[in-house]
Structure 1
Amino acid sequence: MKKDKTPCKRYYRQRAHCNPLSDSYIKYPLNYNYVDWKLHYPYYFKNENIIENKEKKNENALKDIEYNNDNDNSKDQTDRNIINKETNKEINDLMGDVNKLYLNTNKHPITYDKIICSKSNNHEVKFLDIGCGYGGLLFALSKLFNDKLILGLEIRDKITNYVGEKIISYRNNHYPYYNNISIIRTNAIKFLPNYIKKNQIEKIFFCFPDPHFKKHNWRRRIITLENLSLYYHLLQKNGLIYFITDVFTLHLWVKYCFYKFPYFKLLSHEEYKDDICIKLIHESSEESKKVKRNNQNMYFCIAKKI
């Protein structure tokens, strides 16, 4: 069987730095009720959609058969064949949708123009990789936590396209794996509550974020005292934040923010020593591999919501 071609990274290069506080034209939903998660994780919704549509159409068609055809068995069989053909068509159409991308980019746009019923959103994202870059951590998490829906958030347009197209390629080449990861282009500092509801998330990852060295740019950092209030709101009780960087001063800044915020506790080595995610944040992302090649130090911390 011919494998899908993985996108080439060199065609998706984009400058690393941007201002998350500037005005942008990135679309966003009014609130999380407008986000249709089956567009991003179709594998988890396909059976429900097929069964629901099949039941409705079978019920309507069988009512017509009973009303119009008490004695004509040949017509009854014909109508039943029509029902089966329509169901098969729905399955084929749905499998085609699996390869369609909805990334909120110029190339793969999303519309957030209607409320999605809660029944259609009965699977929830549990892990967030904020500023996921080229998606190395997403793919590593997908293997180890295949029962969790994992979402990457990235502000850069081209890189979001790269990761989204790579996910589709991996889904097709390694079915049924990698169906639990997806990516959306958005500004997490501004629009994260428009996608995620209160007490929904188990783990949030921040891997090698922009350090914004200049003092007047510190407010742009992804972890500040103000932003910790947002992450606290979204995390479940005992939810975890993982942070890693190669910039020691940024590491000190983040630890200071956690110390000052009363509802997060920094974990000790004894508390996190058996956590497999520590290994992943040090080894799986593209930036961590680059730091390792250059023989640079990495600094990390883990905080728990209390």
Structure 2
Amino acid sequence: MGVKKNKRQKREEYRASMREEGVATLPRKKFYRQRAHANPFSDHQLVYPPCPEQMDWSTLYPDYVVQDDEPEAAPGAAEGEANQETTTPAPVRPKRLTQDVEVADIGCGFGGLLVALAPVMPETLVLGLEIRVSVTQFVEDRIKVLRHQNKDTGLYRNAGVLRANTMKFMPNFFKQGQLSKIFICFPDPHFKARKHKQRIVSTTLNSEYAYVLKPGGIVYTITDVPDLHGWMVQHFEAHPMFERVGEEEQEADPLVEIMRTATEEGKKVERNKGQKHVALFRRLPDPVLP
């Protein structure tokens, strides 16, 4: 008689099976369960580059790697150098992509918005950022299966997910003015006043969003919590580098409807007949110094 497996063993075996090549079935959430919230101020043992130039995106977007990229030669490693033992090893340079990531979904959850955006923006690299380990693994496996299912069309090659804490390390991944769109969908409201410092929108964080967004870039926000909606509007409108997008322009943006309907949280709000509060903010041009 075989030993009965516990839930953890079943989860680990299922996830291992999803890593096999040619898996055609989309992952099931019940094998990737994790706590709904994570403290962004905790040490999550994250791996991040010291600067954007040292970030290796090739594993996330292998179809966009520059094929003729040559490694840099080490200083003093010229041909015929006498003392080979003292030669500095050649630095490992990250593989370059043919284009930069331009769209970021902060706190992407199970990747609903990410996989909805990828097909409608096929020429743009879109990235989901998620702090929870199991949830990130789910999105990785989801993208892998979708790529396999659409190998003839090449869809979802432009989608990637990264485990990261954007409250701490966003400028480590993105250069100044690199992004054109940032999505903040149904973020943790942190209802208690003492927890407001953990909200993903704040005066300090908005300055980081302004740094990584190009002039004219848009921050998309949506929540079902009226208080949090007011908080995000207040903080973005108070920031000198952002202006709120008018309602007419907002509703004419096709990505707004995708944002309303594609995320798992958005679908949950829809089932519960709740309200969704949307606000968009445009990154203003840099001021001209005298």
**Does the alignment reach a TM-score above 0.5?**
yes
Give the SS at the match of 1:16: coil
1:268-302 Cα offsets, whole Å, 9 max, x none, are 11222210111011100111000000001111100
Q: Does 2:73 correspond to 1:24?
A: no
Q: Unpaired segments of 5 or more residues in structure 1?
A: 54-112
1:182-221 Cα offsets, whole Å, 9 max, x none, are 0000101101111111000000000000001111111110
Decide whether the 8 Å contact of 2:64 with 2:97 is kept in 1: no
Q: Does 2:12 correspond to 1:5?
A: no
Q: Unpaired segments of 5 or more residues in structure 2?
A: 1-21, 71-90, 285-290
For residues 278 and 303 of structure 1, the distance between their equivalents in structure 2, rounded to whole angstroms, comes to: 12
Deviation above 3 Å: which 4+ runs of structure 1? Answer: none
Who is 1:95 aligned against? Answer: none
Who is 1:34 aligned against? Answer: 54
For residues 64 and 54 of structure 2, the distance between their equivalents in structure 1, rounded to whole angstroms, comes to: 18
Who is 1:44 aligned against? Answer: 64
- The residue type equivalent to 1:131 in the other structure is G
Decide whether the 8 Å contact of 2:233 with 2:279 is kept in 1: yes
The equivalent position to 2:140 in structure 1, one of 151, 157, 164, is 164
Q: Does 2:174 correspond to 1:154?
A: no
* Paired residues for 1:44-63 under 5 Å: 44-45=64-65, 48-49=66-67
Q: Which protein has the bigger helix share?
A: 1
Give the C-alpha shift of residue 165 in structure 1: 0.7
For residues 213 and 284 of structure 1, the distance between their equivalents in structure 2, rounded to whole angstroms, comes to: 25
Aligned-residue Cα RMSD (Å) equals 1.6
Give the C-alpha shift of residue 25 in structure 1: 1.1
Give the SS at the match of 1:17: coil
Q: Does 2:279 correspond to 1:259?
A: no
For residues 52 and 35 of structure 1, the distance between their equivalents in structure 2, rounded to whole angstroms, comes to: 15
Give the C-alpha shift of residue 263 in structure 1: 1.3
Identity %: 37
* Paired residues for 1:216-295 under 5 Å: 216-295=194-273
TM-score, normalising length: structure 2: 0.80
Give the C-alpha shift of residue 3 in structure 1: 6.0
Give the SS at the match of 2:180: strand
Who is 2:86 aligned against? Answer: none
Who is 1:190 aligned against? Answer: 168
Instruction: Give the greater-gyration-radius structure (CA).
Output: 1
Give the C-alpha shift of residue 52 in structure 1: 6.3
- The residue type equivalent to 2:108 in the other structure is C
Who is 2:276 aligned against? Answer: 298
Decide whether the 8 Å contact of 1:34 with 1:114 is kept in 2: no
Who is 2:88 aligned against? Answer: none
For residues 115 and 232 of structure 1, the distance between their equivalents in structure 2, rounded to whole angstroms, comes to: 28
- The residue type equivalent to 2:167 in the other structure is I
For residues 167 and 129 of structure 1, the distance between their equivalents in structure 2, rounded to whole angstroms, comes to: 15
Decide whether the 8 Å contact of 1:33 with 1:115 is kept in 2: no
Give the SS at the match of 1:300: strand
Q: How many residues align?
A: 241
Give the SS at the match of 2:58: helix
